[in-house]
Amino acid sequence: MKRIIYDDNVLDYLDSLIDILFDKEYFSFYESSEKYVDGILDFVEENIFVKSKKVAPKYFNRYGKNLFYIFYKPNKRTTWFIFFQLKDNVYLIKYITNNHVSGSHIRGLKGNSLISL
């Protein structure tokens, strides 16, 4: 049976991302920030088993060995990259970032054709 497990650091990051998005006024309503982060989680849950995974660049080994990634593009300017380990049908989500945060390290990764830094 396939399972998804989120590293505690990833869960902490996503929780804080809600506040960051609201505090920096990316969204006018707190609920909109929550919905945006829920969209990332929904994407992972619905797509990680079926979407084509890519081998992560060596730079991201700091988050775990033998990482793969998939990407999620919720709008024209932002691409989210979900890095994970896969063993025995268990997908361990180790790190999540976007092109605005890690642009110099993910430039050229598939799904990142529109980088705006």
Per-residue pLDDT tens digits for 15-36: 999 999 999 999 999 999 999 9
* 63: number of Cβ within 10 Å: 19
Residue 101, domain member (yes or no): yes
Residue 98, domain extent = 3-106
Instruction: Give me the CATH number covering residue 55.
Output: 3.30.2310
Residue 113, domain member (yes or no): no
Residue 112, domain member (yes or no): no
Residue 16, domain member (yes or no): yes
- Of 48, 90, 50, 100, nearest to 69 by C-alpha is 48
The confidence score (pLDDT) of residue 114 equals: 34
Cβ-contact 49, 37 below 8 angstroms:
no
Residue 7, domain member (yes or no): yes
Residue 38, domain member (yes or no): yes
Residue 83, domain member (yes or no): yes
Q: Give how many domains the chain has, as a whole number.
A: 1
Cβ-contact 74, 39 below 8 angstroms:
yes
Confidence (pTM) = 0.86
